[in-house]
Structure formats: structure tokens, C-alpha cells
């Protein structure tokens, strides 16, 4: 089976480099998640920010103690199901939220990957 070229390159990195890369992706997508939360009143984006900050903390603070099992539980609560939202009412709003939802999914995957690497 052919692997995605990005995946191949990521597998060659050290675990701390993989986590840093994923954390950077999450940082890039955070404003989209925050906008999604603001437009849909789905969740409080500060909760996701706190989890992302804990990923940075484990990368930068030598003896940081983070319960990533609990962080993963919290994270799962912060991402919407595609079935939860009706985007047909406001077309413009729907387009923004749809783009944010895609970013949220990628963000969830990247953050979950980072947390799994830290275990």
C-alpha cells in the first residue's frame, strides 16, 4: 500500500519533532475552531486552548506532569459531530462553519496524535 509522502516524512522524525509539528498544525487551526465555537455556540474554545497549552508545556518544561488520558477525554468532548449542525439556514454562515468543522476534524486528529505520542 502506498503511503502519503507527508506521512513517510513524519515517520522519519523523532517523536518530539512529530509532536511539535502536530502542535504547530493545531495552533494554525485554533482560530478556525474558535470561530466555529463562536458561530455555533458549540463549546468554549478556551478548553481546547488549555489542552493545546499542555502539549506545549510537555515539550518545553523538562519535568512537566500532564495527565494525557484525562486531556484526551476532554478533547473528545470538544469536537462536534457532523450530524449535530443544520447548515441550511444561513448559507454564508454555513460556509464558514463547514470550513471550520473540517479544520476541527484535522485539529482533533493532530492533537490526538500528539497526546498518543506523549503517553
Question: With contact defined as beta carbons under 8 Å apart, do 22 and 113 qualify?
Answer: yes
In a domain, 23, yes or no: yes
In a domain, 58, yes or no: yes
In a domain, 3, yes or no: no
In a domain, 81, yes or no: no
Crossing angle for the helix pair 68-77 and 91-118, nearest 10 degrees?
170
Range of the domain at 107: 15-73+86-118
In a domain, 78, yes or no: no
In a domain, 99, yes or no: yes
Question: With contact defined as beta carbons under 8 Å apart, do 31 and 2 qualify?
Answer: no
Query: Is the per-residue pLDDT at 47 higher than 90?
Result: yes
> pLDDT grade, residue 91 (50/70/90)?
very low
> pLDDT grade, residue 89 (50/70/90)?
very low
What's the domain count of the chain?
Answer: 1
Query: Is the per-residue pLDDT at 97 higher than 60?
Result: no
Looking at residue 113, its pLDDT comes to 64
In a domain, 66, yes or no: yes
| CA-to-CA separations, 107 to 2, 3, 32, 61, 65, in angstroms, rounded | 24, 21, 10, 23, 23
Global pTM? 0.67
Query: Is the per-residue pLDDT at 90 higher than 50?
Result: no
Amino acid at each position: 500500500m502506498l503511503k502519503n509522502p507527508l506521512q513517510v516524512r513524519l515517520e522519519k522524525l523523532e517523536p518530539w519533532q512529530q509532536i511539535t509539528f502536530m502542535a504547530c498544525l493545531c495552533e494554525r487551526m485554533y482560530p478556525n475552531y474558535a470561530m466555529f465555537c463562536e458561530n455555533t455556540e458549540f463549546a468554549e474554545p478556551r478548553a481546547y486552548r488549555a489542552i493545546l497549552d499542555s502539549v506545549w508545556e510537555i515539550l518545553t518544561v523538562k519535568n512537566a506532569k500532564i495527565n494525557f488520558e484525562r486531556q484526551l477525554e476532554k478533547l473528545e468532548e470538544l469536537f462536534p459531530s457532523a450530524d449535530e449542525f443544520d447548515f441550511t439556514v444561513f448559507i454564508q454562515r454555513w460556509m464558514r462553519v463547514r470550513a471550520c468543522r473540517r479544520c476541527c476534524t484535522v485539529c482533533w486528529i493532530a492533537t490526538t496524535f500528539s497526546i498518543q505520542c506523549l503517553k
